[in-house]
Structures are given as C-alpha cells and as structure tokens.
Homo-oligomer: A and B are copies of this chain.
Amino acid sequence: MTPTPRITIWNEGRHEQRQPEVAALYPEGIHGAIAAGLREHGLTARTATLDEPDHGLSAAALEETDVLFWWGHKAHHEVADDAVERVYRRVLAGMGLIVLHSSHFSKIFTRLMGTTCSLKWRPDNEKERLWVVDRSHPIAAGLDEYIELEQEEMYGEPFDAPPPEELVFISWFQGGEVFRSGCCYRRGSGKIFYFRPGHETNPTYHHPAIRRVLANAARWAAPTGGPPPVFGRRPPLEQLP
C-alpha cells in the first residue's frame, strides 16, 4: 500500500494560455486547481504540462510517480508517441492513472482501452448530477448521494469505452442524456479511473465534492505492491520440483 502516493498532474495547459476566461477561472491552470484540491485532502502533487521538455513526462519523472492525473483536449495529437509509450508501460507496471473529462480522446486512454472512447457532447452549460451508484467504493467516500454541478458540458451515451469493471457514478443531464461518469479499469498491475466532469470553462475543479473524488481516486489508484508478473517460457515438465 502507498499511504501517500507520489502524484503528478499532467495538463495540456493550452486553454489557459489562449482563452482569457479559462485563465480567469484557473489562474494557476487546471493542474494548479487540481493540485490545490488534493492538498485539501492531505495529498501533494507535482505538475507537468505539454509545453515542458518531454511534456514533463521524462522516464525519471514517471519513475517517481505513483499516480498520474491527465487532462487534455485540443492537443492530444501533439503529445509525443514516445511519451505515451512511457506512460503506457508505467501504467501496466502499476502506476495509477486518473483520466479527466476530454482526455477520453487522449492517446494514452484510447490505447489502454482499445476502443475509440467516443461519445456525444453539448457544451451548453447545463445542469449535471453525478449519482453515486456504488456506495461501497472507496472513491465514493465522504460524498453525498449525488454531486450537482450547475453548469457543465454534457457528455452522453454511448460511451465507446469497454464496460467498466466498477461503475461508481452515473450522470444525469438536464437535456435528457445519461453518462457512465466514474469508470474503474484494471490493466496489468495498474488501476485506471475515468472521471467525466471538468470542462475548461466551468469551475468544476473548484467544487469541494469534485476535489474529494479526485483525492479518493488517487488513493484508490495508487500501486498496491502485488506480485510482478512472470511471463514467458517455463522450464520443462521434468525439471519441475
């Protein structure tokens, strides 16, 4: 168990540079707001962004990361394939991955899921309610029975990811759609949590319940030290003990 996981928050970071309303909402960047939220729950995090060398995702940086948060949107294609490959291998080796909102289309998530991860959407600042449907799950710790966000982008089913192994939240949207908004997956030695809300022009990452979910997810996704896998050819039968 990793009581205090080493966390890296990765953010594309472009909206904050180019859209004044996003910069106003997130003066420290979306990554900064997430880091502040984690601090409220006793967790510390380093941050990394697309425009840093190696996107801030060097092999050394990843080696020192137990849980990686990922927020991307407009620049998925600018993320270098070798960085994606490094993250991919680290997840299979046990690093937790928290995939946020529009990162459903990130290279790393679609690669790990094996599907398009497509969905329907409507950026109309409508009301969303995230209902807890697995109250036994550690990611639901300390929550009310739903989280209400006054203004969010709608994401609607079908969500073209594999069926989640554990489904924690289902979203209701004002316009008539639903979405599986909190989806857990296990891949290799790693755990992955997809969490739907977090549109760049909405104050979602300042919401206390959202911050709690992110902290819960970091603790849930942290590596737990299971056995390293043994693959490949085994000795012949007659040499078995």
Contacts and interface: CB of A to CB of B under 8 A. Distances in A.
A53 interface: no
Contact of A92 (B115, B143, B167): B115
Interface string A58-89: 00000000000000000000000000000000
A166 B160 CA distance: 15
A154 to B, nearest CB: 7
Given A114-B112, A224-B137, A156 B234 contact: yes
A178 B235 CA distance: 16
Given A186-B162, A236-B124, A172 B174 contact: no
Nearest to A241: B176
Nearest to A135: B226
Given A114-B113, A236-B124, A140 B186 contact: no
Contacts of A237: 122, 124, 126, 174-175
B131 A157 contact: yes
B135 A189 contact: yes
Nearest to A96: B136
Contacts of A230: 120, 145, 158
Nearest to A227: B145
Interface in A213-234: 219, 224-234
Contact of A120 (B159, B172, B174, B233): B233
B140 A226 contact: yes
A171 interface: yes
B116 A114 contact: no
Please provide the 7 A-B residue pairs with the shortest distance between their CB atoms, ordered closest to farther: A135-B226, A114-B114, A140-B226, A122-B234, A118-B231, A136-B186, A145-B227
8 contacts: A120-B234, A132-B227, A133-B159, A135-B189, A141-B224, A143-B227, A145-B157, A172-B173
